[in-house]
Amino acid sequence: MLRRTRTAKVYTEPATDDESDDMTGQQKGDSEELEEWLPNSNEGKTKGRRQRGTDETGEKKKVTKRVAKLKEPKPKAVRKPRAARVPKVKKEKTNTKQQTEDAVLPKPELQQHVAVKEERLSINLSSNNAGDMPDECPSSSQHFPKVKKEEPDDSFTFDEPAQKKQKTTNSAQGRPIKLKLGNSCVEDLQMNWDPIQVLAEKSGVEQWVCANIVQLFQEENTIPFMVRYRKELINHMDADAVRDVQLTLEELRSVAKKSRSVSQTLKKEGVLTSELEMALKDCTTADEMDHVYAPYKKGSKLSKARRAKELGLEPVALALLQEPQKLDLQSSIQPNTKGLSTLDEVATGVQEILADMIAKDKETLTYVQSLCDRSSVTIHSSVSKTALKEQQPQQGTQKSKPKDIAKFSLYIDFTCDVQRIQHHQTLAINRGENLKILTVKVNIPDRVKNDFCRWCVNVRWRPQGFARPELMTILKNAVEDSYRRFILPFLSRGYRTKLTASAEKESIAMFVRNLRQRLLMCPVRGRVIMGVDPGFHHGCKIAILSPTSQILHTDVVYLHGPAKHKEAEKLRHLMFKHSCQTIVIGNGKACRETEAFFTDLIKQRFFKPLDVSYCITDEAGASIYSVSPEAVKEMPDMDPNLRSAVSIGRRVQDPLAELIKIDPKHIGIGTYQHDVSQSLLRAALDGVVQECVSFVGVDINICSETLMRHIAGLNAGRARSIMEWKEKNGPFLNREQLKLVKGLGPKSFQQCAGFIRINPETVRSVCSGGNEDLKVPLKQTAEKKKVKGSGITSNQFNPLDQTCIHPESYSIALRFLSQIGGSFDQMGSAALRQSIESSVKSRGLDVLAKSLDTTPETLQLIVDGLTQPPGFDIRQDFEQADFKREIVSMNDLHDGMVVTGRVTNTALFGAFVDIGVGRSGLIPKRFITPDKLPVDQRQRSLALGPGERVEVRVINVDLQRNRISLDLIRVLR
C-alpha cells in the first residue's frame, strides 16, 4: 500500500474542508482551529473591537518616526485650493532622457579596509536591510499624501514590507547608465507619466537604480546575474528587492497596455474624447483605469451623465460653474423630449453631469484621499445573509454550514483600522467573503463626507460668479451624489485592493524566505546515510545511500511489532555491511516512536563499534514526489514507498538537489497558498529556486538535468542540450566549452557561466581509467570549432572555473594575482589569503580596483574566489537535531519547562517549533523580540526561519486541542 503524506500547509485561519487535504498530519493538528491563536478570542468580537494605538496584547504601541531615506523621489505636494473653473486635462510632457542623464549622484567615500568573506557570498540570507521601503502609492495617478505608519518600538513584529530596499551607505554607489533610444519600457508605454519616476515612487528605489534595473532587464539579464555580477549598477540590492522592482515594472506595463486597448475600443465606438484619452494616460494603476473606463464598458447601461450629455446639457452644466449669473434653466426645457420636459428633469441632468465631472477630477480625488488619511477608516466583517439563510433550514440535519461559520467566529463581528489590520487577518476575511460566509465593508467616517462636500462647494467647484439658490442646490446635490455613487465605492475598492495586495505580497515573501532557508541548509557530505520513512502497520521503509547518493540497499522493517528485536539485528547487519553511521528519520506518522526505538539502541551501544547518530528531517512532499514522473524515471523499478525513504535520506545529503524535484508548494514552507495570486506565487518561488541553485553553484559534470534547468540563463531545452553534449563528447573540461552546446548563445553563456563549476576531481572520476593527464577524447577534439566572438575554445583546465569568478573577469584576476605575486597553485591556501588581505588592507579595495581598471565590487568577488578553499559551499554548517530523550509526548510537558527544538515553519503570526513530542508548538509573534535574536537577525522582517535551532519555554499545554504555546528564549548557534 502506498502511504500518502499530505502536503504541509499551515493555516493562520480556519481551513475549508476541501483545503484541509493540503496539510500534513502534524501541522494539521497544529492549525485545525488556529483562529484562537491570533487574534485572541476576545479580539474581533462585538464588544472587543480594536482600539487605535494598541497592539494585539492590548498594550499601547510606541510611535517611532521613520528615518528618511536618501535620494528618494520627493512626494508631490497637494496643490492649494484654487478658484473654481472648469477642469481641463493638461498633458504634461516629461523629458525622460534628460531626467535620466541628470540623475548623477555624488559618490560617498569608500571603506579602505574590506574584510575577506568566508561564507554566504553574493547572497543575503539574513535580509540585513538597514532601511525600509516606503508604503505603496495609493490608487491614483496623482499620489496622495502618505500616512505615517506606527510601529512598535519595544516588540518585534512581522509587519515590515515584504521586500525592502538595500541601503548601502558604506559601499560604492552604482553608476547611472543611460537608457537607449527606443527603449520599449519608456517610449512604448506612451503614457503621460515618466515610467522610471513612477517606478521609483512605487518601489521606493532611487531613480538611477530603477533606470539601471530596467536597462539590465531589457538586455535579458537574470536576477541572480545582476545581484552577483552587477552589484554596482543596482546599488547592492538583494534578489527580493530587484524582483519587487521587476513586478512593479510589469504592473506599469500592464496598465499602459490596458490604456491603449481601452483607447482603441472607445475610439471605435466613437466616444473617445481628448479629455478622456488624457485621463486614461494619466492612470498608473488598474483601479484608476477601471474607474475612468467603467461608464463606457461594453454591455453596461448608458450612464446617467452620458445620457444627459446626449441631451445637450453639458454646456448648461459648464455654464453653472463659469457664468451662473447668465444661466437660465428654463431655456433648456423641451416639453416633448424625455429628460428635458420639465425643470426638474433639466436640473437632474445637470446634476448628473456635474457629479460625473467631480468623480473624475484628479484634484478632487486627491483631496478626499487626504481626508481619509487623516481619519480612522476601518474594515468590518460580519456573517452574510446568505450564510444565515442556508444555516436555518438545515439545523439538525446538516452540520457543514454551521461548522464553516464557526471557523470564522473571530470575524463574525470584527472591526479593525485599515492601517493596523494584520496581513493574515486580511487574507482570512477575504477567504470568508469568497466562501459567501462573511460580508465585508469599509467604513469611512461621516466627517470625511461633510468636509469633502463643504470643500467642493466652497473651494474646488465654487461657481465663478453669483449663483442663485436653486443653482447652488443643484451643485450641492451633485457633490453629495458624486460622493455616494462614485467616490465612496472608489475609495472602498482602493482600500480593499491595497490591503489584499499588501497581504498577498507579505504571504508570498514568507514563502520565499522559508523556501530559501530550506534550500540553503548545508548538505551532509562524505557519509553513508540510512533514510527512514517511519510507519506502524506497513513498517518503516529504509534506504541506505552512498556518500554520492547512490542507492545501496532498500528494505522494509517492522520496528513497532512483536518481532522488533529481530528487526534490530537486521538493521545492525545492514549498517555494518555498508559502514552506515548516520540515520535520517522522516517527521511523519510514527516518527517519535521510531526515534525512541533508535535512541534506545544507541543508548545500549547496540551498534558498537559504529558511532551511530540520527537526525529528523521534514518529509513534506516526499510521498507526492515518490509517484511523480520524475521519480519513476529516476527509480523505475522501485516501490513508491521505498522512493520516499530515498528522498528523505537525500534531503540531508543535499537538500538543494533533492527539494527542487518537488513543487515548492508541497514542501510546507508557508501559509495561505490558496489565497494569493497563483501566478505571482509561482513566479516568486521559481525565482528563489533559481537564485539558490545559482548562488550555491553547480558542478556541471555530475548534476542532474532537473538541477541544471534552474541555473540562471538555462531552461529545460538548454539543460537537455548540455546533457546530450556530455553524452556525446564526455565531461566538460572548462567553461568555454559551454559555447559549443547547441542553443547556448553568448547571452545564455554570460548568464550561466559564473554559476557553473568545473571540478577536476569530478572529471577524473568521470573519465574512464582515472586518466590523470586528462586528455580530451577524440570525439571532443573533432567537435572543436571557432565560436563567434571568442575564438577557438581550449581543451585545458582553468583553475578559475572552480570559483565564483565570472569568465569576463578572468583577465582582471590574472593581473591581480600578478600584482600580489600569487599563482593559481596557491588558490584557497592560507599564504595567498594572507597576501591578499595585507594588500587590501594596505592599499584599499577601491585603489586596487582603480589600478586594475575595474570596480570594487568585481574585485571583491575576485578576492572571494581566490581565497575560498576548493569545494567551498555558501550553505551553513549542518546542525544535528537535538531532542531530549525523556520528552517523547505532550504528556511529558509542563508549564515553565525549558526545551530545545527546531523551527519547522513560520507564518504571519508566529513560528512553529518541533520540540520532539510529535506535535509542533507555536511561538506567537509577540514573543519574538529583538533581545532574543542574534544581532544579524534583528533587522529581518522574518525573525526565524525553518531549520533554526531554538531554546524555548513552555507557556501552555492544551491536551484537549493538541496545542502547545511556547516562548522564545534564544536562538542556538
Share of the chain above pLDDT 90, in %: 36
Residues in CB range of 434: below 8 A, 6 or more apart: none
Taking each helix axis from N to C end, the angle separating 856-867 and 830-843, rounded to the nearest 10 degrees, works out to: 160
The overall average pLDDT reported for the chain is 77
Residues above pLDDT 70, as percent of the chain:
73
Distance, in Å, from the CA atom of 831 to the CA atom of 820, rounded to the nearest integer, reads 11
What confidence category does residue 890 fall into, taking pLDDT thresholds of 50, 70 and 90? confident
Q: Check whether 639 has a pLDDT greater than 60.
A: yes
Whether residue 840 is predicted with pLDDT greater than 80 in this model: the reply is yes
pLDDT digits (tens, 9 = 90+) for 192-206: 899 999 999 999 999
Question: pTM for this one?
Answer: 0.69
Residue 320 vs residue 944, higher pLDDT: 320
Cα–Cα distance, 592 to 920 (Å, whole number): 12
| pLDDT band, very low/low/confident/very high, at 792 (cuts 50, 70, 90) | low
pLDDT in tens, 351-389: 999 998 998 888 898 899 999 999 999 999 999 888 887
pLDDT at 853: 92
What is residue 943's predicted lDDT score, i.e. its pLDDT?
A: 65
pLDDT of 323 above 50: yes
In this predicted model, what pLDDT tens digit does every residue of 819-833 receive, in sequence order? 988 888 888 888 899
State pLDDT tens for residues 896-925: 888 888 888 888 888 888 887 768 899 998
Q: Report the pLDDT value the prediction gives residue 43, as an integer from 0 to 100.
A: 39
State whether residue 196 is helix, strand or coil.
Answer: helix
CB 17 within 8 A of CB 676: no
> Residue 650 and residue 644: Cα distance in Å, rounded?
10
Whether 878 shows a pLDDT value over 50: the answer reads no
Could you report the per-residue pLDDT of 51-76, keeping only the tens digit for each?
444 343 344 444 443 433 434 444 44
Per-residue pLDDT band at 249 (split at 50, 70, 90): very high
User: Coil, strand or helix: which one is 887?
Assistant: coil
Residue 86: pLDDT above 60? Answer: no
Decide if pLDDT at 693 tops 60: yes
Domains of the chain, each with CATH number or no CATH? 187-294 (1.10.10.650), 304-377+444-513 (no CATH), 805-867 (no CATH), 897-971 (2.40.50.140)
Cell of 757: 563549476
CA 920/CA 766 separation, integer angstroms? 44
Cα(477)–Cα(485) distance, integer angstroms = 12
Task: Check whether 841 has a pLDDT greater than 80.
Answer: yes
Residue 940 — very low, low, confident or very high, per pLDDT cuts 50/70/90?
Answer: low
**For residues 452-462, average pLDDT:** 93
Residue 50 has pLDDT above 50, yes or no: no
What is the predicted pLDDT for the residue at 288?
A: 85
Alpha-carbon distances, residue 98 vs 6, 7, 107, 347, 363 (angstroms): 57, 53, 20, 50, 28
pLDDT of residue 90 exceeding 80, the answer is no
Q: Which DSSP string do the residues of 830-875 spell out, in sequence order?
A: HHHHHHHHHHHHHH-HHHHHHHTTS-HHHHHHHHHHHHSPTT---S
Question: How far is the C-alpha of 169 from the C-alpha of 300, rounded, in Å?
Answer: 54
Angle ∠(877,881,883) on CA atoms, nearest 5: 155
Here the cell at position 199 is 517606478
What's the pLDDT band for 417 if we cut at 50, 70, 90? very high
Give whole-number Cα distances, 266 to 258, 263, 466, 493, 643, in Å. 12, 5, 38, 24, 59
pLDDT of residue 807: 94
Average pLDDT for residues 397-421, to the nearest whole number? 77
Any bridge partners for residue 198, and if so which?
A: none
92, 482, 321, 477: CA torsion to nearest 10: -170
Q: What is the rounded average pLDDT of the residues 558-575? A: 90
Q: Where do the H-state alpha helices sit in 301-442?
A: 304-310, 314-322, 343-359, 362-373, 385-391, 400-407, 423-434
> How far is 801 from 815, CA to CA, in rounded Å?
17
Give the pLDDT confidence of 590-602 residue by residue, as tens digits: 888 888 889 888 8
Residue 8 in this model has a pLDDT that exceeds 80: no
Please give the pLDDT value at position 113: 41
- At residue 311, what is the residue type? L
Q: How far apart are the first and last CA of the chain?
A: 41
Element containing residue 533 per DSSP (H, E)? strand 529-533
- The model's pLDDT over 174-192, given as tens digits with 9 standing for 90+, comes to 566 554 544 555 556 788 8
Nearest-angstrom CA–CA distance, 731 and 140: 57
951, 943, 972: which is closest to 157 by C-alpha? 943
- How far is 618 from 531, CA to CA, in rounded Å? 12
**Can you give the pLDDT at residue 178?**
54
Distance of CA 349 to the CA centre of its chain: 49
Q: Which three cell numbers stand for residue 638?
A: 522501485
Contact 292, 276 (CB under 8 A): yes
CA distances to 535, 728, 740, 782, 807 from 785, in Å: 57, 15, 8, 8, 19
The answer, yes or no, to whether the previous bond of 14 is cis (omega within 30 of 0) is no
Compare 128 and 310 and report the one with higher pLDDT.
310
Q: Which of 163, 245, 249 is nearest to 206 (CA)?
A: 245
Query: Could you give the CA distance from residue 710 to residue 724 in angstroms, rounded to a whole number?
Result: 17
Number of continuous H segments (helices) and E segments (strands) in the chain: 35, 17
pLDDT given at position 614: 87
Conformation bin of residue 947: beta by default, left when phi > 0, alpha when psi is -120 to 50: left
Q: Which of 693, 640, 698, 638 is nearest to 664 (CA)?
A: 693
Buried b (16+ CB within 10 A) or exposed e, 390-406: bbeeeeeeeeebeebbe
Mean pLDDT, residues 254-266: 91
Q: What's at 610, amino acid-wise? A: L
Q: How far is CA 871 from CA 430, 762, 833, in A?
A: 48, 11, 16
| Euclidean distance between CA atoms 313 and 828, whole angstroms | 83
Highest-scoring range by mean pLDDT, 14-28, 122-136, 543-557? 543-557
- How far is Cα 493 from Cα 418, in angstroms, rounded to an integer? 13
- Give the gyration radius of the chain's Cα atoms: 33
Would you state the pLDDT for residue 458?
93
Average pLDDT over residues 625-652: 91
CB 676 within 8 A of CB 16: no
681 in Cβ contact with 528 (< 8 Å): no
Higher-confidence residue of 317 and 188: namely: 317
Q: How far apart are CA 943 and CA 126, in angstroms?
A: 9
What is the maximal distance between C-alpha atoms in the chain? 110
DSSP state letters, 124-188: -SS---SS-PPPPPPSSSSPPPPPPPP--SSS--S-S-SS-PPP-TTSPPPPP-PPPTT-HHHHT
Question: How far apart are alpha carbons 125 and 213 in whole angstroms?
Answer: 22
Percentages (nearest 5) of helix, strand, coil residues in the chain: 45, 10, 45
C-alpha torsion angle, residues 933, 935, 939, 943 (rounded to 10): -30
